[in-house]
Structure 1
Amino acid sequence: MSKKPVTTRSGRFLKLAGMTASVAGQFAGQRARRVLGRESDEERSRQYARMADEIVDTLGELKGAVMKVGQVASQTQDFLPKEFSDALQRLQKEAPPMPFEVIRQQVEAELGAPLDELFEEIREEPYAAASIGQVHRARMKDGTEVIVKVQYPGVDESCDSDLKQLRMALRFGGLLRMPKESADRLFEEIRIRLKEELDYENEASNLRRFRDYHQRHPWVIIPRVIDSHSTRHVLTLELAEGDHLRQVTPERYSQETINLLGERLFVTMADELFDFQCIHGDPHAGNFAFRPDGTLILYDFGCVKSLRPSVVAHYRQALIAALDENYEALDRHLIDLGARVAEKPAITPDYYAMWRNMLIEPFDGDEPYDFGRSDLHQQIAAHTHTVFRYLDRLQPAVDSMFIDRMVAGHYWILKQLGVQAAFRRHLESYLRDEPATAST
């Protein structure tokens, strides 16, 4: 029998407080065994895994802000034990849905009328379910096919207390491996982005901005907002359908078309970063769809990051320095980005060279790179332990965190699509401030 959803602020607080107390108790016991010399590496790993499982299970049940933070944290693995970051990967999968009766009450309260007066039809089975809300397909009275995105009750009001409890659990469990000042900046940035994502009126505004910007890309589709049926907690959009990533198969998509989609994904991402200076900050596979004619469909603009021109300039200069193997300049630009602690000694060139030589692989030369066969993510995972040598000199780069998240998300999409493409020429054109143009 499924558990009754926790939708009240007090219920969420008690659930998270219980999780925090349990994790803190487990960590205290682990620390005592370590002091007494009774804990092996294997036992410590098992204990971390148990704590991580408890945290992840609770976040998945509660959904909302804490589940979203867990998804973000799963992509910030340098500062978490491997057992925890591995467990967090479960939160990237589609969340179990809320009962339709909860969704009905939320929609009717927000839009001020019974469902049968608002829509000709609305399907009870979710079209998709995520961390802060779920989507249902519907038809308007005039026959327009739409999707209705409904925020889970209580999520918005509980955001701040949820984040506070999650941070306490990570800290008391010995899982947050960063200085307090860095953690403060990181959680504040996440809180701001979550507050924006929880405001569907803000998302509607983002959708309009990105639709206007991508008019220059006739192969990009972004759904239109239905204003009459949208509020802070309900967002109704015209239906724009395409194939999910797993439906992009050789039977329907030639390798040439897949490569074209990859090129268009790269240009879309780079244009947003270097020209629009405002990026789609949640680039997982569920937020993209594809068509055999090379069309891209972009969904979910709740998580959008507007970038200061100085951040984009420093990011560009850091990439140029890395490509040129100018590690002294790279160190300076990373300080400017906030990724390096300015008061600490410079990091050795061989450390930067190791990462540079690894990460440049998809852009190394004019021959197509086979993303489908790429093991770049495995190489990165195998070297993440080296970060701890310089943990006192490195810190989460809050201003560019969502750029890194966007780049990592696009890598996984290119890999899963099986794109074979040479992006070096495109990249160099953006670094020269001469945006490339994708094939049409």
Structure 2
Amino acid sequence: MSKKPVTSRGGRFLKLAGMTASVAGQYAGQRARRLIRGEDDGARSESYTRMADQIADTLGELKGAVMKVGQIASQTQDFLPLEFSEALQKLQKEAPPMAFEVIVGQIESELGKPVGELFEYLQEQPYAAASIGQVHRARLHNGTDVIVKVQYPGVDESCDSDLKQLRLALKLGGLLKMPKEAVDQLFGEIRERLKEELDYENEANNLRLFREFHKDQPWVIIPSVIASHSTRRVLTLELVEGDHVSKVTPEHYDQATINLIGHRIFTTMADQLFRFRCIHGDPHAGNFAYRPDGSIIMYDFGCVKKLKPEIVEAYRKALIAALAEDYEALDRHLIDLGARVENQPAVDEAYYAMWRDILIRPFDTEAPYDFAGSDLHKHVAAKTSTVFKYLDYFKPPVESIFIDRMIAGHYWMLKRLGVQAAFRAELEKYLAAGADGGQS
């Protein structure tokens, strides 16, 4: 059953303030126990897990900006303890839907007409429910099948106060282990992306832009916008259906087709990064669908990151240096990327070599890499504690955080699909193209 949403700014503030006070109290108690009698790692981890579960539950209930930040945080484990990343993973799953009458009210107030005048029918059961809105299937009076994306009421007005309150909760919970300047940059970048994502007119423009980007790749399918039924908070798109990753099974997809889809996923990702310098920044299973002819359908272009040419170039050079095991050059390029603190001494090459040897695996052989059996993420998790040794040397790479998010999201898609493919030669082609491969 759907919950009545907390849509007023005051109601949201009180809910978040209550969470903040509770988290701060738990953290103070944990510090006091540690000072009085010491606290082992197990007890601290248990305390973090309790705090994390409370934050995740509150964010999931409130939806909106704070839930979206939780989703981003769950994918970027470089600025929160592991217990929090794990608890926030729950926010990646589909959100519980909002009451249908709330959705109808939002559509009618945005489009200025009764739902019956706008659509032949509007399905009550949501097609999908997410952090800042939900999607319903419908049909226009001319017979066109569409989906209608409706933003939850109050989400955009409360974005700034939500983010301030969440930041305060993380700070008072002793969880933001970064200098204030880095936190400012990180939350500034998240706020900017969220403001764009809350503007469905911006998303409509992104959809048109990416349709143009991929016009020469007929196997990339992106829905078209129905402008007459779209506003800043309602977005109506043609209905374009495909199979969710869970439906990509041997009955309908042979291994050759799955591998073809894998190569196409890699191509779209590399094109967006190196050629278009503009990336789909929210690559999770719900935003992609597939067809047995090898087509890939892409949904949800609310979160799009336009990349500065110098950031793409620094990223390219960092990858070339890592592949060549030139760790001195890698250190320099990470500084250019904004990931390394410039006034700190060079990082131990063995540290870079350790990460390079883990992350290179899908690209380290000319034979196909079996993503289904990949345990690369487990090796990354096992080495996460080594990050603390170099905490003062690195900072969240604000300009490229969405590149990292895109790559991590695509890794999980390739794994879930069971792709077997060798990408080294393709990667080297993009890296060799260099700055000339970009489009203005």
TM range (shorter): over 0.9
The structure-2 alpha-carbon separation of the partners of 1:183 and 1:139, relative to structure 1 and needing over 3 Å to count, comes to: same
**1:163 matched to which residue of 2?**
163
| Contact 2:2 2:96 (C-alpha < 8 Å) held by counterparts | no
- Alignment-derived partner of residue 256 in structure 2: 256
Question: Which portions of structure 1, spanning 4 or more consecutive aligned residues, are displaced by more than 3 angstroms?
Answer: none
Which residue number corresponds to residue 235 of structure 1? Answer: 235
1:64 matched to which residue of 2? 64
State the distance in 1 between where 2:53 and 2:161 align: 21
Cα distance between partner residues in 1 of 2:296 and 2:419: 14
Q: CA RMSD in A?
A: 1.2
The aligned residue for residue 205 of structure 2 is 205
- Render the CA deviation track for 1:242-284: whole Å, top value 9, x for unaligned: 0000000000000000000000000000000000000000000
Specify the code of the residue in structure 2 equivalent to 1:327: Y
Q: Secondary structure at the match of 2:297?
A: strand
CA distance, structure 2, for counterparts of residue 417 and residue 42 of structure 1: 36
Tell me the residue number matched to 1:7.
Answer: 7
What is the SS of the residue equivalent to 1:74? helix
Q: Distance in 2 between matches of 1:401 and 1:43?
A: 32
**Which residue matches 2:122?**
122
SS, match of residue 77 in structure 1: coil
Q: CA deviation at 1:37?
A: 1.8
Q: CA deviation at 1:78?
A: 2.4
Q: Which residue of structure 1 aligns with residue 111 of structure 2? A: 111
Q: How does 1:244-323 map to 2 (within 5 A)?
A: 244-323=244-323
Paired residue total: 436
Instruction: Name the amino acid aligned to 1:279.
Output: I
Separation in 2, partners of 1:382, 1:79: 16
Deviations 1:151-170 (A, max 9, x none): 00000000000000000000
Find out whether 1:89 has 2:89 as its counterpart. yes
- Show the 5 A alignment for 1:140-159: 140-159=140-159
- Which residue pairs with 1:177 in the alignment? 177
Q: What is the alpha-carbon distance in structure 2 between the residues aligned to residue 64 and residue 385 of structure 1?
A: 31
| Contact map agreement 2:70 2:91 (CA 8 A) in 1 | yes
- 1:37-75 per-position Cα deviation (integer Å, ceiling 9, x unaligned): 243322211111111111000000000000000000011
Structure 1 residue ranges without an equivalent (≥5)? none
User: What 5-or-longer segments of structure 2 have no aligned partner?
Assistant: none
Tell me which residue corresponds to 1:369: 369
Distance 1:317 1:56 in 2: 37
Q: Secondary structure at the match of 2:355?
A: helix
- C-alpha distance in structure 2 between counterparts of 1:3 and 1:129, whole Å: 13
Task: Give the TM-score, by structure 2 length.
Answer: 0.98
Q: Deviations over 1:132-173 (max 9, x none)?
A: 000000000000000000000000000000000000000000
Could you tell me how far apart the structure 2 residues matched to 1:256 and 1:277 are?
30
Q: What SS does the aligned partner of 1:94 have?
A: coil
Tell me the equivalent position of 1:196.
Answer: 196
Q: For residues 246 and 365 of structure 1, what CA distance do their matches in structure 2 show?
A: 28
Matching residue of 2:380: 380
Work out the CA distance in 2 between the residues paired with 1:110 and 1:172: 39
Q: In structure 1, what is the equivalent of residue 396 of structure 2? A: 396
Q: Distance in 2 between matches of 1:206 and 1:65?
A: 20
Q: Deviations over 1:377-408 (max 9, x none)?
A: 00000001111110001000001100000000
Task: Report the Cα distance in structure 2 between the residues aligned to 1:10 and 1:423, rounded to whole angstroms.
Answer: 51
What amino acid is the match of 1:347?
A: V
Please give the secondary structure, in 2, of the residue aligned with 1:48: helix
Residue identity opposite 1:197 in structure 2: E
